[in-house]
């Protein structure tokens, strides 16, 4: 296992390396990084270490050798560095303890799971699948119910608009319902009607609202406004008059 980091004691490093050149500093740090990353002594192979330090020029290779001679000890298994060996041993010890603690914790958890009865009283290996199917079924049922409710609401609203015999309430309520339906709740039919009452005679407002509902206008507010302003004024057809009468023009 490689080490992702290692402690760097700046004061100790500085006191030991004040005499090094910039090139030697670079070689020393690269050698230490490789040492900690591999968690083992540096190989006693000059060519490999030159590549570790990117030392291709002769003066760069000389800097690598100077650092090895001063800060590392050559043994049978490679170049050792006393401080690095100490930190690696400490890291290995901590890793072993954490692994042991994790194994104990997982063992206890598995034992508790084995001893704890499942909520439905069954320890069957298929109980998890059964629960998953049950949750999925409930989710599908809920989604289906919501879709059915929305479809019923839209169908009911459309039928009320298309069939005057089904229509209920005053023309103002029907107009507000139409605005709400066509704008998906973003329009404000009540506010618009309030402004119209202040600006136009009540009979004109009734007539314009009735025409708008009879036409099933896609933009009810704009349609009614055009009628009231005269840009869309036209006589009411017999069918529209019958529809308006059936809707009980009360505003």
pLDDT tens per residue across all 251 residues of the chain = 677 788 888 999 999 999 999 999 999 999 999 999 999 999 999 999 999 999 999 999 999 999 999 999 999 999 999 999 999 998 888 878 888 888 888 888 787 888 776 555 555 555 555 554 454 445 554 544 444 344 444 344 444 444 443 343 578 888 888 877 778 777 787 888 888 888 888 888 888 888 888 888 888 888 888 888 875 545 555 565 565 555 544 44
| 133: helix, strand or coil | helix
CB 85 within 8 A of CB 79: no
Q: What is the pLDDT of residue 61?
A: 97
Q: What is the pLDDT of residue 237?
A: 56
CA distance to 109, 116, 122, 129, per residue, from 113 (Å)? 6, 5, 13, 17
Q: What is the pLDDT of residue 246?
A: 57
CB atoms inside a 10 Å sphere around CB 81: 20
Of the candidates 72, 58, 82, 93, the residue with the CA atom closest to the CA atom of residue 30: 72
Sequence ranges of the domains in the chain: 1-114, 154-246
Q: What is the pLDDT of residue 26?
A: 97
Of the candidates 39, 43, 40, the residue with the CA atom closest to the CA atom of residue 68: 43
Name residue 42's beta-bridge partners.
79
Q: What is the pLDDT of residue 81?
A: 96
Outline where the chain has alpha helix (H): 10-17, 22-38, 46-52, 58-71, 82-115, 127-162, 171-182, 189-199, 202-215, 220-229, 238-246
CA–chain centroid gap for 148, Å, is: 29
Cα(247)–Cα(73) distance, integer angstroms:
103
Query: What is the Cβ-side half-sphere exposure of residue 115, based on CA atoms within 13 angstroms?
Result: 6
């Amino acid at each position: 296992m490689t080490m992702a980091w290692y402690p760097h004691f700046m004061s100790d490093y500085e006191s030991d390396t004040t005499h090094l050149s910039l090139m030697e500093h670079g070689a020393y740090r690269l050698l230490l990084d490789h040492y900690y990353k591999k968690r083992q002594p540096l190989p006693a192979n000059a060519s490999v270490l030159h590549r570790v330090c990117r030392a291709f020029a002769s003066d760069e290779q000389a800097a690598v050798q100077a650092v090895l001679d001063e800060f590392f000890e050559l043994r049978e298994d490679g170049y050792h560095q006393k401080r690095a060996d100490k930190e690696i041993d400490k890291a290995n010890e901590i890793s072993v303890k954490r692994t042991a603690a994790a194994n104990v914790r997982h063992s206890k958890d598995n034992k508790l799971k084995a001893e704890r009865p499942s909520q439905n009283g069954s320890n069957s290996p298929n109980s998890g699948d059964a629960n998953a199917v049950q949750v999925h079924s409930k989710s599908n049922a809920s989604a289906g119910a919501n879709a059915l409710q929305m479809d019923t609401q839209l169908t009911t609203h459309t039928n009320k608009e298309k069939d005057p015999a089904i229509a209920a309430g005053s023309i103002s309520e029907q107009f507000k319902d139409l605005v709400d339906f066509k704008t998906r709740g973003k329009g404000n039919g009540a506010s618009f009607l309030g402004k119209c009452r202040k600006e136009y005679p009540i009979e004109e407002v009734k007539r314009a609202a009735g025409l708008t509902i009879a036409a099933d206008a896609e933009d009810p507010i704009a349609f009614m406004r055009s009628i009231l302003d005269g840009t869309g004024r036209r006589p009411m057809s017999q069918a529209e008059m019958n529809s308006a009468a059936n809707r009980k023009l009360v505003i």
